Structures are given as C-alpha cells and as structure tokens.
Structure 1
Amino acid sequence: MVHVAVTRDAQEILELDVCGHAGQAPHGEDLVCAGVSSIMVGMLNAIDQLANETCELSMVEGHIHIRSKEGDARAQLLLAATLISLQTLEGSYSGYIQITVQEV
C-alpha cells in the first residue's frame, strides 16, 4: 500500500510524505504506483521550476518527502493541487493508497 502522510496547520501544508508500493498489479503494470509516481515527480519538478527554494525535497526509491518553508503561496498552491490529485486517486483505489492528515 502507498501511504501518504500530510502534516498541516490550519492554513498551510507543512509536510507531505509518500512511501510504499501499491501492490495493485505486478511490477511494471501497477497503475496506482504509476499514478502516484507521476503525480509526485510532477510535483517535485513544479516546485523546482516554479517555487525553487520554498521546500526541502527528498526522493529515494519508494519514498518522497517534502517539507515546506512557511509563508510561500506558490508552494502552498502546488502542495494543495498535489494533495487533491492524490485524494482523487485514493477515491478510485482506496485499497492501495491511504492518505492521513494530521493537524498541528
């Protein structure tokens, strides 16, 4: 299962952590993993090109971690759009992706 952990305060997404593999289909045929990977790599590229230095980014096999620096509207818009995309995927494949949101 893909686990997405979101840490937020009332107004901002502070962290987004994605790890695991969906296991929806054999390696190379897993649509859920492909979807999550596409969403997250697109997000990393968007932050790099549109909001550089607004977030700390980390990506290793099967794990992506994003920590936002407070107060940047560009980063917050990108993070919110990413969360919506992941939630849409979770709506169709809830047995393979789980999103938890923690308010701090």
Structure 2
Amino acid sequence: MIKIYIYRDENKNITSYSVKGHANAAKYGEDIVCASISILAQTTILALHELLSIDVIYEMKDGWLYCKLPEGLSNDIREKANLIMNTMIIGIKGTQEMYSEFIEFHDEEV
C-alpha cells in the first residue's frame, strides 16, 4: 500500500508531503500504480526547483519520498508552488479513484 500525506499550514498552504510504501499491484518493474505516484511526486519536486527556483528540502530512497518547502517564500512564489502541488494532488486523486485498494491518501493541516 502506498501512503501519501499532504501537510498544510493554517493558511491551507502545502508545506510538505510524503509518499511511503509500494503498491504491490504488479511485479516489480511492471507496477503502473507505483510508477504513476512516483512520477507525480518526483515531477513536483523537479517543477518546484526548475520552474520556481525553490531550494526544496527532499529525501528519496526506495519506497520513500519526502518533500518540504523552505519557509519565507514570497507570496507570488508560494501561490505558484501551491498550484504545482495541487496539480500533483489532482493526479494522485485520479490515480486513487482507479486503484483505491493500493493508495491511502491523507490531507492534513499541521
């Protein structure tokens, strides 16, 4: 099971997210559920860094990805970062609708 956690501040801004586990929906290397979620989570990190020049704090290893935005972002960059991360959430929820038995999704205010 893949467990995804979205963490938000009191203003509903996404401050960090984590993705843990494997879907085990198919053999290793053929699991489209794992691949889909991995691509969404990793592309989000790349977009935050390459499009917005944010020095994202992240950790990635087998079955684990964590991403945290630094504090003190300008309102403009924060708004654009929210747009990128909310796009990731749309993709995750779409994948979860098709493969709900393999994905657990939590969206929490810290």
TM-score by length of 1: 0.89
Question: Contact conserved, 2:5 with 2:19, CA < 8 A, in 1?
Answer: yes
After superposing on structure 2, the runs of 4+ consecutive aligned residues of structure 1 that deviate more than 3 Å are none
CA drift at 1:54: 5.1
Partner of 1:84: 90
Partner of 2:31: 30
Question: Contact conserved, 1:24 with 1:32, CA < 8 A, in 2?
Answer: yes
Using the aligned pairs only, state the percent identity.
Answer: 28
Measured against aligned partners, the alpha-carbon deviations of 1:66-89 in whole angstroms (never above 9, x if no partner) come to 112354222111111111111111
CA drift at 1:102: 1.5
CA RMSD, 1 decimal? 1.5
CA drift at 1:57: 2.0
Runs of at least 5 residues in structure 1 that lack an aligned partner in the other structure: none
In structure 1, give the amino acid aligned to 2:37: V
Summarize the Cα distance change of 1:4–1:94 in structure 2 as closer, same or farther, 3 Å threshold.
Answer: same
Partner of 1:12: 13
Aligned match for 2:81, one of 75, 84, 97 = 75
TM-score by length of 2: 0.84
| SS of residue in 2 equivalent to 1:89 | helix
